[in-house]
Structure 1
Amino acid sequence: MTNPTSPLLYRLLPALLLAASLTAQEKKEGPIQDNSFLVEEAYNQEPGVVQHISTFTRFQESKDWIYTFTQEWPVGGITHQLSYTLPWQRLASLDGKQAFGDVALNYRYQLLGDGEAKVAIAPRLSVLLPTGDEKTGYGRGATGIQVMFPVSVVLTDTLVAHSNVGATRTPNAKNPLGDKATTQDLALGQSFIWLVNSRFNLMLEYVHTRSQAVIGPDQTQVQTATYLSPGIRWAYNFPSGLQIVPGIAAPIGVGASRGEKAIFLYLSFEHPFTKTK
């Protein structure tokens, strides 16, 4: 998830209709890999395989929720990957209205390793389009640029770690009053995945964000959020090459975010779109 606008909220995505013509392939084997929730893994899509990801996050106290859909496509091979993320959200503080948010267009480069390597690195560059309405609080009103540096390390045969460092810069971001200022956000993440078996994993993710909100002309205010999120995911593998991965997590606020709780739901469909010999 992936989570290109806000590491906690917008790392949510996938659910979608499968292509009608799934081509024949061998049944997908091996451990679940590219299905992290809040912390991004460093594995690009395999050649000829597309992934559709849906996520839904609902916060207990505020009743806010956000749904995201992400689709990831390999470009030629594993080295290059393109994806996009579409957010649909509801902010209870804004009269409970539902609205479209800012869309993310993503490019990721497999700098080191792959799904078979002990260490993998896949930097991501995202353009955040101002498709949400900043006048109602559902967007930033300006184009933003985000960079993320995910690193994945296989620690043991049953334990994998994913680390994230990222930043977002949005020149001339707007608040609902029309005030403009440049905002700069920072995101840190760490997760540990216990491979109980190849089709069932226990997860523990940690995310910390430091973001800026526009509060006046050329004025911003720092906001921080920190969550610890235990979760589980499991896989259904089919002879056609289709893999379905559902998951659920319970983000819990810690530190300054103490007392905040959420429920996170995940669903991924991954399948081949080209024939293999």
Structure 2
Amino acid sequence: MRPLSLGNATPVLSTCRHLLPALLVVGSLVAEEPKKETPIQDNSFLVEEAYNQEAGVVQHISTFTRYQESKDWIYTFTQEWPVFSQKHQFSFTLPWQRLGTSLDGKQAFGDVALNYRYQLVGDGDAPVAISPRFSVLLPTGDEKTGYGKGSTGYQVNLPVSFTLGSAFVGHFNAGATRTPNAKNPLGDSATTQDVFFGQSFIWLAHPRFNVMLEYVYARNQAVNGPNQTQAQSATYLSPGIRWAYNLPSGLQIVPGIAVPIGVGVSRGEKAVFLYVSFEHPFLKGK
């Protein structure tokens, strides 16, 4: 991994312009007198937290990312369900995307992820939480147009969440994906192996308002010939904010916005990331 460099201040100023409208919307939350309420424990945007869903509570998550230089975009929908208790969680992710590298240039469905996660250590109230995840990536995308890998993949991730005093929370991720017999649009196949790392720090400025900074690194392999792969790396630093609306019905709505900035090998690329989640009980009495 190359040393990170932020270059000049232009990306930072651009970030501020993107975040200003959202800051004005949620500024009133910070100005209120703090109430005794549970802080937001939602997913980070680019880095996975280690808190499984509570028993009887389901979460629906939508994200949208658009890259400024390539004009690529991707929308994902995720549902997270507890399985009998908080120890076990099942989720799935459905991607819809438009990639400039695709052969037809059209938007299309990608590979679906089925995820199982085990709450190994702690929970949302503990100083440290660890929830290993195992995922199966189904070849639902069309590899002939560049929207899928054409083979079932397997992914592992180790999310670790930890508190830093009463005002800060951190999340760390390390994971890898292996796809045997992945295919490219020409029909060539090879086994690809991807790795990724992430770290986020979240300032709990208010129980219903967070300021976030995330760092992610990914090294992905693509098939470029029979039994041949080519690796590409991406590194982003992403400032963002999120806020929560807690309704009397038990529904919590958490919108958020971030501006991933390419650094190091990804310098020059910027993106806008939009997030919204709906979390609510699905069992009476929860």
TM-score > 0.5, shorter chain as reference: yes
| Equivalent in 94, 98, 105 of residue 86 of structure 1 | 94
Question: How much does 1:204 deviate?
Answer: 0.1
Residue deviations 1:146-185 (CA, integer Å, cap 9, x gap): 0000000001101000000000000000000000000000
Q: What is the aligned partner in structure 1 of residue 75 from structure 2?
A: 67
Question: How much does 1:234 deviate?
Answer: 0.2
Instruction: Say whether 1:184 aligns with 2:193.
Output: yes
Structure 2, unaligned runs of 5 or more: 1-35
| Equivalent in 52, 60, 66 of residue 52 of structure 1 | 60
**Partner Cα separation in structure 1 for residue 153 and residue 173 of structure 2:** 19
Q: Which has the larger radius of gyration?
A: 2
| Equivalent in 158, 163, 167 of residue 158 of structure 1 | 167
The correspondence of residues 1-277 of structure 1 with structure 2, limited to 5 A, is 29-94=37-102, 95-276=104-285
Residue deviations 1:186-243 (CA, integer Å, cap 9, x gap): 0000000000010000000000001111000000011100000000000000111100
Answer yes or no: is the 8 Å Cα contact 2:118–2:131 preserved in 1: yes
- Helix, strand or coil for the counterpart of 2:122? coil
Q: CA RMSD in A?
A: 1.1
Question: How much does 1:92 deviate?
Answer: 2.7
**Partner Cα separation in structure 1 for residue 269 and residue 142 of structure 2:** 26
Answer yes or no: is the 8 Å Cα contact 1:130–1:143 preserved in 2: yes
Deviates further, 164-173 or 93-102: 93-102
**Partner Cα separation in structure 2 for residue 263 and residue 107 of structure 1:** 29
**Partner Cα separation in structure 1 for residue 116 and residue 177 of structure 2:** 15
Answer yes or no: is the 8 Å Cα contact 1:35–1:245 preserved in 2: no
**Partner Cα separation in structure 2 for residue 121 and residue 67 of structure 1:** 27
**Partner Cα separation in structure 2 for residue 256 and residue 36 of structure 1:** 23
Q: What is the aligned partner in structure 1 of residue 32 from structure 2?
A: none
Answer yes or no: is the 8 Å Cα contact 1:29–1:237 preserved in 2: no
**Partner Cα separation in structure 1 for residue 250 and residue 212 of structure 2:** 25
Superposition TM-score, scaled by structure 1 size: 0.89
Query: Which 4+ runs in 1 deviate beyond 4 A?
Result: none
**Partner Cα separation in structure 1 for residue 249 and residue 163 of structure 2:** 28
Residue deviations 1:1-55 (CA, integer Å, cap 9, x gap): xxxxxxxxxxxxxxxxxxxxxxxxxxx9400112210000000001100000000
Deviates further, 175-184 or 94-103: 94-103
- Helix, strand or coil for the counterpart of 1:41? coil
**Partner Cα separation in structure 2 for residue 98 and residue 188 of structure 1:** 28
**Partner Cα separation in structure 1 for residue 194 and residue 238 of structure 2:** 21
Question: How much does 1:93 deviate?
Answer: 3.7
Answer yes or no: is the 8 Å Cα contact 1:208–1:224 preserved in 2: yes
